[in-house]
Amino acid sequence: MIRKTAAQMADALAKGETTSVELTQAHLDRITAVDGQVKAFLHVDAEGALAQAKSVDTRRKSGEKLSPLAGIPLALKDVLAQKGVPTTAGSKILEGWCPPYDSTVVSKLKDAGVVIMGKTNMDEFAMGSSTENSGYGPTFNPWDLTRTPGGSSGGSAAAVSSFEAPLAIGSDTGGSIRQPAALTGIVGVRPTYGAVSRFGLIAYSSSLDQAGPFGRTVLDTALLHEVMAGHDPKDATSINAPVPAVVAAAKSGDVKGMKIGVIKQLQGEGYQKGVQARFDESLKELASLGAEIVEVDCPSFEYALAAYYLIAPSECSSNLARFDAMRYGLRTGDVNGASAEAVMSATRDAGFGREVKRRIILGTYALSSGYYDAYYGSAQKIRTLIIQDYAKAFTKADVLVSPTAPTTAYKIGEKVDDPMAMYLGDVATIPVNLAGICGMSLPAGLAEEDNLPVGFQIMAPAMQDHRLYQAGAALEAALLSKWGAPILDKAPALGGSK
Ligand code: GLN
C-alpha cells in the first residue's frame, strides 16, 4: 500500500478498499522501520495523525463528501507552524516551542482532511542545500545513506522518496523544494510567489520564501498544490486570484505545439556529465511529443547567485532579530541579574548555528550605511535585470527548462565546510525565486557515473503554474514508458529495488 501513489491511495479510500487509519498506520510502521537510518522526521505525531485519520474515516462512513486528499498521510517541513506540535525550523533556538496557532497551509490541510504525520528535518531556518545545517543532525538520502538528500527541505524529500509519506510540504527560497526533489528522485514544485500563504511560515527571506508540494508523481504534487494554494487575507503578499487548474493540467499532460525554451546560461560547463546527458535526452522526448525546442538567452543569470546571497542574508538579518530570548524559544545566561543585552547575546550565541550566524553578519554588513548601495542596492538592480531576462524569454517560449542542480547528491560532509561550494549548487534554481515565478523539478533518470537521480527543471511565468504540470506530466509519461517502472524502484538503499 505505501508504494502506491497518493492518487491511487485516494481511490482505494473512496472505494472502501482501505481506511485512513490503516493507511496512516502503514506509514507510521514504515517510519518506525526506516527513519532511524533516514532521519527525515524531527517529530512524529502518531497519536494526532491516527486521530485525524479516524475522524476522516468516520466522516466518509457517514456519507460526507470529502476532498480528494482526505485521509492521505503527509510529512510537514518543520518551518510551518502547527498548533500544539513542536515547531523548530531546524534550530536549537526554537527547541520545544509549540505554536499557539496553525499556519494557513496547515489550516488548509486540516480542512481537506489530510493527515499530518509529523515535522521534517531541514537546514536551520531553511539556510542550506544539504540539510546538514540542521541543529538536530543531518538527514540521509534514501538512495545512498552516505549522501545528503539535498536541502533545505531534505527531510520532506527523504520522507517521500523512502515511502515514509506519499506527500510532503517544503519551502523554497532559493531552490529548497526543487533541489532536494532532484537529488532524491521525486517531484517538487515551488509555486508562484504569493500563490501559497506565508502566514505561519517561519520567515527566512520574505521576498523569496514560498511553500510548495512534494510527491512521487506530477499528479500527486498537483493534488497537494490545489489544497495548499489560494488567497489569504492574513498574508499581505498573497495573490487574490483563482488557483491555476494544476490538477487538470497534470491529467492532460500534452506538449504538442508547446514552445520550450532552453536557457543557454544554465547548462554545459560546470554540469556533471550524467546530469547534462539526462537533460538532453529529456529534451528529445519532449520534441518527439510535438514540443518545439528553442534556445533563449538570459545574460543576467550570471549574477543571480551573487545577488541572491546578498538579498537573502539581508532579509534574514532582519527577520531573525525576533529571536531575542524574550518572546519565545531558548533563553540562556539569565543569571545573577544579567542585563537583557547579555541574555540576548548568550542566547543567540548558543541557539543559532554557524551558517545562520554567518548570514546574519553578512546581511547586517550589506545593509549597513555606506555599504547599502554597493551591496543590497546593486543586488536589487540585478533582480530587476533577471525579471527582464525572464520576461523576454517568455515571449519566445511557454516554459523554460534547465537541469535542476548541476550535480547529483554529494556525500555528507563533502561541502559543509565550504559554503561557497555549497552556494554554487543553487545556480539553476535561484533565478526563479528572484523573479517570483514558479518552477518544478521532476526525475529525468539516473546519471551513469553514480546511478543517482537527476532532476529536470521546468519554469513558467507567475500564476501560470499549470504549464509546469502540463509539460511535467507529458515528460513523466514518456520517461515512464521508456523505463518501464517508476524511478524509485531502482533505489538500492532501504530495499527500494524490487
Ligand atoms: N540553498 C539556498 C540557501 O541556502 C536556498 C535555500 C532555500 O530555498 N530555503 O539559501
What are the pLDDT digits (tens) for 184-209?
999 999 999 999 999 999 999 999 99
Q: To test the ligand 1 pocket, which listed residue (121, 122, 123, 189) has its Cβ within 8 A of the most ligand atoms?
A: 123
Give the pLDDT of residue 372.
Answer: 87
Sign of CA dihedral 435, 436, 442, 446: positive
Residues 6+ apart with CB under 8 A from 274: 408, 446, 447, 448, 449, 450, 454
Q: pTM, whole model, 2 decimals?
A: 0.98
Give the pLDDT of residue 498.
Answer: 38
Residue 281 phi/psi, 5-degree rounding, is: -65, -40
Catalytic residue among 39, 77, 108, 119: 77
CA distance 315 to 318: 5
Å from CA of 175 to ligand 1 middle? 6
Q: Is the pLDDT of residue 177 over 90?
A: yes
Residues 6+ apart with CB under 8 A from 152: 90, 122, 123, 126, 127, 128, 129, 131, 133, 170, 171, 173, 176, 180
Q: C-alpha cell of 308? A: 541572491
Q: What is the DSSP string of 11-59?
A: HHHHTTSS-HHHHHHHHHHHHHHHHHHH--EEEE-HHHHHHHHHHHHHH
Å from CA of 248 to ligand 1 middle? 30
Q: Is the pLDDT of residue 477 over 60?
A: yes
Q: Is the pLDDT of residue 493 over 80?
A: no
Give the pLDDT of residue 492.
Answer: 81
Q: Is the pLDDT of residue 24 over 70?
A: yes
pLDDT, mean over the chain: 96
Q: Residues 246-298: pLDDT tens digits?
A: 999 999 999 999 999 999 999 988 999 999 999 999 999 999 999 999 999 99
Give the pLDDT of residue 494.
Answer: 77
Atom of ligand 1 nearest to the CA of 175: 8
Bridge-partner residues for 442, per DSSP? 456
Q: Residues 400-459: pLDDT tens digits?
A: 999 999 999 999 999 999 998 999 999 999 999 999 999 999 999 999 999 999 999 999
Query: Superfamily for 6-300+383-490?
Result: Amidase signature (AS) domain (3.90.1300.10)
Q: Is the pLDDT of residue 88 over 70?
A: yes
Q: Is the pLDDT of residue 137 over 60?
A: yes
For residue 173 and ligand 1, the question of a CB distance below 6 A is answered with: yes
Atom of ligand 1 nearest to the CA of 173: 8
Q: Count the neighbouring beta carbons within 10 Å of the beta carbon of residue 2.
A: 15
Q: Kindly indicate the confidence band of residue 497, based on its pLDDT and cuts at 50, 70 and 90.
A: very low
Burial of 306 (0-12, 13-18, 19+ CB in 10 A): middle
Q: Which amino acid is at 426?
A: D
Give the pLDDT of residue 9.
Answer: 98
Give the pLDDT of residue 218.
Answer: 98
Strands 73-77 and 115-120: parallel
Q: Output DSSP code: residue 498.
A: -
Å from CA of 125 to ligand 1 middle? 9
Omega before residue 103 within 30° of 0, cis: no
Q: Is the pLDDT of residue 167 over 70?
A: yes
Residues 6+ apart with CB under 8 A from 365: 371, 375
Mean pLDDT along residues 71-87: 98
91 is catalytic: no
Å from CA of 436 to ligand 1 middle? 15
For residue 52 and ligand 1, the question of a CB distance below 6 A is answered with: no
Å from CA of 429 to ligand 1 middle? 9
CA distance 284 to 281: 5
Q: C-alpha cell of 497? A: 529495488
Q: Kindly indicate the confidence band of residue 495, based on its pLDDT and cuts at 50, 70 and 90.
A: low
Whole-number Cα distances in Å, 380 to 271, 312, 428, 434, 455: 27, 11, 19, 9, 29
Atom of ligand 1 nearest to the CA of 433: 8
152 is catalytic: yes
For residue 128 and ligand 1, the question of a CB distance below 6 A is answered with: yes
For residue 180 and ligand 1, the question of a CB distance below 6 A is answered with: no
| CB-CB contact of 194 with 230 (8 Å) | no
Q: Residues 337-383: pLDDT tens digits?
A: 999 999 999 999 999 999 999 999 999 999 998 998 899 999 999 99
Residues 6+ apart with CB under 8 A from 481: none
For residue 129 and ligand 1, the question of a CB distance below 6 A is answered with: yes
Q: Is the pLDDT of residue 496 over 70?
A: no
Mean pLDDT along residues 52-64: 98
162 is catalytic: no
